[in-house]
A = this chain, B = another copy of it.
Amino acid sequence: MPLTPEQQAEIDEQRAQTTPTRRATAPGMEKHLYTAHPVLDHGFIRVIDYMGDDNAITQAARVSYGKGTKAVSNDEGLIRYLMRHWHSTPFEMCEVKFHVKLPVFVARQWIRHRTANVNEYSARYSILDREFYIPAPENLQAQSVINNQGRGETLQGEEAQRVLDILREDSTRAYDHYEEMMSEDGQQGLARELARMNLPANIYTQWYWKVDLHNLFHFLRLRADAHAQYEIRVYAEAMCKIVADWVPFAYKAFEDYRLGGTQLSGPGLKVLQKMLKGETVTQESSGMSAREWRELMEVVEG
């Protein structure tokens, strides 16, 4: 359970208050506001604020004075057109701010996406909580034997248990020592900015993360992908659900054209065109490398 009763009370208090506003309001997003959606064993993601809705996208694309056309079907068609043809700036007109609690090694992947605003909890000023990510047994996998960057089979029995014991014990000891080094009881007490270096990468941190919808989609395409590491993918999947409620037209277009879509190379496209005409094409005749051919056949066969 990631929240203390005090934190839950603060959240409940914020959720209980509403104020009238003249701004565009997305009913599907209002219901998410402030609620902590649990992710992993101690993490969460919660929406702190948002700007805009589906209408804000078409309104900006048209540079319009008011809400623009009342015909909802026109709006959806325009949004799909913009997504299909890589018009990114209208999607930048929506913005969302999340509060995320996540393990440090996930935070390190996440921060590689630079086009966002971030305020992270500071371990120079403050003391981190004793909370570590310990994977569920079904998420402990061996190194993949076919992919340098992936996971293979799930670890079995004793080996899995040994891993979990190591992670638990090393985390506990590291945190005990972290506290011990900083303690001012009978000693000076090491500076926080130094003591933190003893903490392992499965400790939880938290941050406020604000991003526009275009860049969020870019993040989600990479991180909700099957090749992303499980521990970041679950955050991306939680955000996908939230975004689907916030901007349903834009999310559907994103799902159709990006998440569920695929990129064909020029040579790959020629192969497909020949195949559709009934011609026989082989890797050799295509001029593609074995790897490129295999990836193309995976796309073709679904």
**CB within 8 Å of B: which residues of A?**
3, 6-7, 10-11, 13-15, 17-25, 30, 33-34, 48-52, 56, 59-61, 63-67, 77, 80-81, 84, 86, 89-90, 92-93, 95, 97, 99, 103-105, 108, 111-112, 114-115, 117-122, 124-125, 133, 135, 140-144, 148-153, 155-156, 159, 162-163, 166-167, 170, 173-174, 177, 180-182, 184, 187-194, 196-202, 206-208, 210, 212, 222, 229, 255-257, 259-270, 272-273, 275-276, 289, 291-292, 295, 299-302
Contact = CB atoms under 8 A, between A and B. Distances in A.
A71 to B, nearest CB: 15
Given A10-B67, A159-B187, A206-B63, A180 B166 contact: yes
Given A22-B15, A170-B177, A265-B261, A143 B192 contact: yes
A159 B141 CA distance: 41
A168 to B, nearest CB: 10
A187 to B, nearest CB: 5
B119 A89 contact: yes
Contacts of A260: 265-267, 269
B202 A201 contact: no
Contact of A257 (B92, B93, B174, B263): B263
B200 A199 contact: yes
Per DSSP, chain A at the interface is mixed
Contact of A124 (B104, B149, B193, B267): B149
Contacts of A180: 166
A300 B275 contact: no
B151 A193 contact: yes
Nearest to A192: B143
Nearest to A167: B198
The 3 closest A-B pairs by CB, nearest first: A260-B266, A10-B66, A142-B188
A180 B163 CA distance: 9
A208 B11 CA distance: 33
Contacts of A163: 181, 190
A262 B272 CA distance: 12
